[in-house]
Amino acid sequence: MFGTDFRPIFPGNSYPFRLHDSMFRQTIQKQGRLEQREKWGTLAENCSIIGTYAQTELGHGSFLRGLETTAEYDVRTREFILNSPSITASKFWPGGLGKTANHCVVMARLKMSGRDCGMQSFIVPIRDMETHNPLPGVTVGDIGPKFGYAAMDNGFLSLNKVRVPRENMLMRYSQVLEDGTFIFPKNDRLVYGSMTLIRTSIVGSCGRALAKAATIATRYSAVRRQSEIASKGGEVQVIDFQTQQHKLFTQIASAYALMNAGKFAANLYNQVSAKIEDGQLEDLPVLHALTAALKAFSSWEMASGIEQCRMACGGHGYLLASGIPQIYEDMVPACTYEGENTVMCLQTARFLNKCQEATNRGEKLPPLAHFLQAAKGNRKSGLSSSMDLTQLVAAYEFRAATASAEANSRLKAQRAEGRSEADAWNNSTQLLVQAALAFSHAFTVRAFVESVQNANFHPNVKSVMTQLATLYALTGILRYCGDFTKGGYMSDSQIRLVQDRFFDLLTALRPNAVALVDAFDFPDQVLGSALGRWDGNVYEAIMETARKSTLNKSQVHPAFYKYQKPFMDSFKAQAKL
């Protein structure tokens, strides 16, 4: 917005203009016709209006077909009438809606002469541009305290027969003509392009959030000394313990992997978007499937990884001054916003199941799904002590293919037992989620490996990054070794080789651990951490923060005289009796 960087002012993603900068403006650009982009896009770009994006409702989230907000077209006045027919139809959670936004992109179910024409996007003014009071028919406010996101005014919105001009419906793909004729989009998913874009950006954001936590924990572990390794050897840096290296280095690798996956997904989004501009829609299902599952995979990995980094800092990691709680509360909502993760996985699973059926029929698959054919035949891993990256990628794609095939087999078995399609699907969802996550994991490993192999690094840097990419791949094999040994794909001896190489890599990466997190290039102002300071003055920073506690403004707190002393004196009186 104006080229202004609000991150030093507002922590992380928690600032009131975030959805204006992202979802509101992007939806106009992606869903609006040229004249709409010129009008609304320009107003949003120069902040003549401040907007947000309202899709989620009090009673419905990821299940878009269940959304209740309606928009009916009045042919006589050439207006849409937007309505929230029940309390559960109230829009709930949009950032910036509570107190900041004066306009809103509202996702509503379009009704044309009683016919349901699906979800469409409408630009709805919600507050007076001079007084900022709600407009007639608009009930809007803040939803109250949350787990985190204190600087974000998440809000609720209820519409009571609010009218907007026909031109306020974003009509790049779907159109309503003046006479009430509805023109359907070439593909229903085109209407959800903004969601695909934001999910793509979440992947990289998760990687950066984990990178912040890993930076703090790694720097602190290089300063902190605790216990001995050898008798009478003196206290050593915590980072020299193998258990600490396991906690830290796996998260450093994961952060790099997720950021690379985010870049690859963003490039794919741009490629598919360019094709869509030319009317080529065949890659849209692949893009939707990939971004949905990647969003789930990356946010779950990020959430557990940040918590691992907090615990790696010992007791001091629990301090707000460590900076890690702020990162966690700021980013953990990614597991549920812009699509609840399990639902996202199941959307991807539908795509994978269709691809699996096509594989069974011998049909051609999209490039990103070619790996599904890897489960055919009696495959054996060629992995050796060299831990060739190409072999590691192949192993992950075999795992993903096997998981997809197992989920498909489960569905078939359920149908064969006479269950309905809905029941068969519901009874197979756990395997379907696992298949989607395995698909995402394989993509992330490949993205990391290819980024290292194709980068024009200095030989020394390439060596370290190869070690890190290998560590990332081996971490997953050890975590899910049961998946990799199914059908004898990997042997017990190969798993032992993986384990030995994993431990060797921890030792090899130790000298470069701090440099790897310094390369993320987060300034102290962004980290906001007493533990992760670049200068290493950890203990001075902790004590300085402690002294600034509001409880230290007076040496004796008023509560002592009002409550504590009378409480103690009462026992003295009893003792005398």
> 401: pLDDT confidence band, cut at 50, 70 and 90?
very high
Q: Provide the pLDDT for residue 495.
A: 96
Does residue 351 share a domain with residue 207? Answer: yes
Q: What is the pLDDT of residue 257?
A: 98
Cα-flanking dihedrals φ and ψ of residue 347, to 5°?
A: -65, -40
Q: In 3D, which of 327, 311, 329, 291 has the Cα closest to residue 211?
A: 327
pLDDT confidence bin for 156, thresholds 50/70/90? very high
C-alpha distances (whole Å) from 121 to each of 300, 344, 426 are 30, 21, 31
pLDDT at 2: 43
Token pair for residue 20? Answer: 């204006």
In a domain, 4, yes or no: no
Strand-pair category, 155-159 with 70-74: unpaired
| Structural domain contains residue 443 | yes
The answer to whether 54 touches 34, Cβ cutoff 8 Å, is no
Measure the CA angle with vertex 181, ends 179 and 184; round to 5°. 155
- Residue 189, pLDDT score: 66
Q: Are residues 171 and 244 in the same domain?
A: no
At residue 487, the pLDDT reads 86
pLDDT at residue 5 in the model: 46
**What is the per-residue pLDDT across 170-229, written as a single tens digit (0 to 9) for each?**
999 899 999 999 998 877 666 666 678 889 999 999 999 999 999 999 999 999 998 878
Query: Comparing 147-151, 158-162, 235-239, 529-533, which segment has the lowest mean pLDDT?
Result: 147-151
Cβ-based neighbours of 496, under 8 Å, separated by 6 or more: none
Q: Are 253 and 308 in contact (CB under 8 A)?
A: no
- What gap in Å lies between CA 208 and CA 110, rounded to an integer? 38
From the list 257, 260, 322, 327, the residue with the least C-alpha distance to 545 is 322
Query: What is the domain extent for residue 104?
Result: 18-178
- Catalytic residue (one of 68, 338, 397, 406): 338
The answer to whether residue 194 is domain-embedded is no
Q: Averaged over 263-280, what is the pLDDT?
A: 86
> Is residue 363 one of the residues assigned to a domain?
no
Q: Alpha helices of 147-192 — where are they, by DSSP H?
A: none
pLDDT attached to residue 168: 97
Average pLDDT along the chain: 91
For the cut 70, the answer to whether the pLDDT of residue 3 exceeds it is no
pLDDT of residue 121: 94
pLDDT band at 377 (very low <50, low <70, confident <90, very high): low
Q: What is the pLDDT of residue 87?
A: 97
Question: Do 162 and 204 share a domain, yes or no?
Answer: no
The two tokens of residue 71 are: 């928009």
Identify the band that residue 375 occupies on the pLDDT scale cut at 50, 70 and 90: low
Domain C-terminal end among 514, 531, 548: 514
Distance CA 412, CA 98 (A): 48
Gyration radius (Cα) of the chain, Å: 27
100 is in an annotated binding site: no
Identify the burial level of 254 via C-beta atoms within 10 angstroms of its C-beta, where 0-12 means exposed, 13-18 middle and 19 or more buried. buried
77 annotated ligand binder? no
Q: Are 407 and 441 members of one domain? A: yes
Helices (H) and strands (E) in the chain, counts: 20, 11
Q: Alpha-carbon distance 300 to 308, whole Å?
A: 12
Instruction: Give the three-state DSSP class for 58.
Output: coil
The answer to whether 501 and 474 are in contact (CB under 8 A) is yes
Residues 149 and 214 in one domain: no
For residue 322, give the CATH number of its domain: 1.20.140.10
Locate 177 and state its tokens.
């003509």
Q: Quote the strand ranges of 205-261, DSSP E.
A: none
Q: What is the CATH number of the domain that holds 123?
A: 2.40.110.10
Q: What is the 3-state secondary structure (H, E, C) of 302-319?
A: HHHHHHHHHHHCHHHHHC
Rounded distance between C-alpha atoms, residue 316 and residue 329, angstroms: 17
Domain membership of residue 173 (yes or no) is yes
Q: What is the pLDDT of residues 484-495, one digit of tens each?
A: 999 899 999 999
Q: Can you give the pTM of this predicted structure?
A: 0.90
Domain end position, chosen among 514, 534, 549: 514
Active site residue 338: yes
Query: Which amino acid, 391?
Result: Q
**Burial (CB count <10 Å: 0-12, 13-18, 19+), residue 197:** buried
Arithmetic mean of pLDDT, 499-505: 97
Residues 298, 349: one domain? Answer: yes
pLDDT, greater one: 475 or 375: 475
Residue 464 lies in a domain: yes
Tokens standing for residue 335: 């597991």
* 367: confidence class by pLDDT, cuts 50, 70, 90: confident
Kindly report, residue by residue over 279-288, the tens digit of the pLDDT: 777 888 899 9
Over residues 315-354, the pLDDT tens digits come to: 999 999 999 999 999 999 999 988 899 999 999 999 999 9
d(CA 519, CA 517): 5
How far, in whole angstroms, is CA 98 from its chain's centroid? 23
Residue whose pair of structure tokens reads 């992330």 in the numeric block? 444
In this structure, is residue 377 part of a structural domain?
no
User: Do 138 and 226 belong to one domain?
Assistant: no
pLDDT of 123 higher than 70: yes
Q: Are residues 205 and 116 in the same domain?
A: no
pLDDT at residue 444, as a whole number? 98
Determine the pLDDT at residue 540. Answer: 96
Q: How confident is the model at residue 139 (pLDDT cuts 50, 70, 90)?
A: very high
pLDDT at 4: 46
Whether 256 maps to a domain, the answer reads yes
Residue 1 confidence (pLDDT) above 60 = no
Residues 169 and 220 reside in one and the same domain: no
| 85 alpha-carbon distance from chain centroid | 31
Render pLDDT for 404-417 as a digit per residue (tens, 0 to 9).
999 999 999 999 99
Q: What is the dihedral of CA 283, 392, 205, 303, to 10 degrees?
A: 120
Model pLDDT, residue 192: 64
Paired with 73 in beta bridges are: 80
* Structural domain ending residue among the three candidates 178, 212, 247: 178
> For position 10, what pLDDT does the model report?
54
DSSP conformation class of 383: -
Examine the domain organization and report whether 142 and 254 are in the same domain. no
Tokens for 447, please give them.
């993205």
- In the chain, the number of structural domains is 2
Question: 120 and 155 share a domain?
Answer: yes
172 and 209 housed in the same domain: no
